[in-house]
Amino acid sequence: MANSTEFEQIEAVLAIDPAAEAERIEEFIRAQLETYQRSGIAIGLSGGLDSAVTAALAVRAVGAEQVILVNLPERDSALVHQQHARAFARHLGAWLEVIPITPILRSAGTYRLLPLRFIPGRRLRAWLVGWAKRKFLRRANDSLLADRLRPPENQFIARGNAYAIAKHRFRMVVLYQYAERHHLMVAGAANRTEWLTGTFSKWGVDHCADVMPILHLYRSQVEALGAALDLPDYLLTKPAAPDVIPGVNDKAALLGGFETVDRVLAGLDLGLEPSVLAGVYPEELVARLVELRSLSGHMRESPHALIP
């Protein structure tokens, strides 16, 4: 059983001074832009909170005229995310480029991986995905994002993995092509919660960047920072949606709620034993996070190679 001091350490890790943290990140962004000697910053603006916080900090750091926001929708994207990206770009006074990647995905054969192309309408596609999850996933509380980290037991899971991850990988290529063309530094928007649980796409737009200004922050800390930055309510109250497959809409629901998840992850970061954490937090949740942290380890490493 953990003592109170250990759990006070968890709370101390998660507690941030938003104003001081924002200033620290802004200085980091300015320093990195000088190091890269780029003309400005490119950020993939998804319409979600993480990329919005990153964009807001970048604008505060170097000014809106040096920040280019890039929205990369495709056929399965919910329209609300593009609407929020447009509204937030106007809120910041930054330029927004909208580059649809549907033609790229179609040419690459991505949409042929799942039968969703035969289903008219996003609602029916989401229903089909929900039915497939109930039929093919090993555990009722799993999702495609979690099950993809284990060896797939069937072709639906394998093809679903390829279907989802390809979208963020093509987004990465398009964003970098745009950034290189305009001599911009790419700022990514991954947070520590998704980084530690593997709920991102390896080599995707949520993984590859020149700088990752909020990677050290757990999702609940990003939410606190977003509130301090006075982000609009439509972002602060919005679920963390992967937006790659209809019906897979909330990372928080997948993981078990960010506030509790972040406390468990912070405890693991502090070196607390899972059995100790399971004495306070739901045992099933602790076990799931330990598993995800272990299975996703390779996603946080450089490619392995034999060194001569």
Helix (H) or strand (E) holding 30: helix 18-36
Instruction: Give yes or no for residue 291 having a pLDDT over 70.
Output: yes
pLDDT beyond 80 at 59: yes
Which pair of tokens denotes residue 40? 């400005």
pLDDT digits (tens, 9 = 90+) for 214-263: 999 999 999 999 999 999 999 999 888 777 766 565 566 667 678 899 99
Residue 8 to residues 11, 15, 224, 307, Cα–Cα distance (Å):
5, 10, 19, 43
Q: Strand 95-98 and strand 67-71: pairing?
A: parallel
Average the pLDDT over each of 108-112, 152-156, 166-170, 256-260 and give the range with the smallest value: 152-156
In three-state form (DSSP H/G/I as H, E/B as E, the rest C), the secondary structure along 159-222 is HHHHHHHHHHHHHHHHHHHHHHHCCEEEECCCCHHHHHHCCCCCCCCCCCCCECCCCCCCHHHH
Other Cβ atoms less than 10 A from the Cβ of 307: the count is 4
40: part of which helix (H) or strand (E)?
Answer: strand 40-44
The mean pLDDT of the chain is 88
CA pair distance 269, 294, nearest whole angstrom: 13
Q: Where are the alpha helices (DSSP H) in 37-121?
A: 49-62, 79-92, 102-108
- Residue 162: both structure tokens together: 């390829």
Which domains, from first to last, does the chain contain? 17-256 (3.40.50.620)
Query: Above pLDDT 70, what percent of the chain?
Result: 84
Q: What pLDDT sits at residue 143?
A: 47
Long-range contact list for 131-134, CB < 8 A, 24+ apart? Answer: 132/156, 132/160, 133/247
**What separation in angstroms does the CA of 286 have from each of 18, 200, 201, 292?**
28, 20, 23, 10
Q: What is the pLDDT of residue 156?
A: 74
Higher-confidence residue of 131 and 307: namely 307
Please check whether residue 74 is in contact with residue 101, taking contact to mean a CB–CB distance below 8 angstroms. Answer: yes
Nearest to 169 by CA among 80, 72, 252: 72
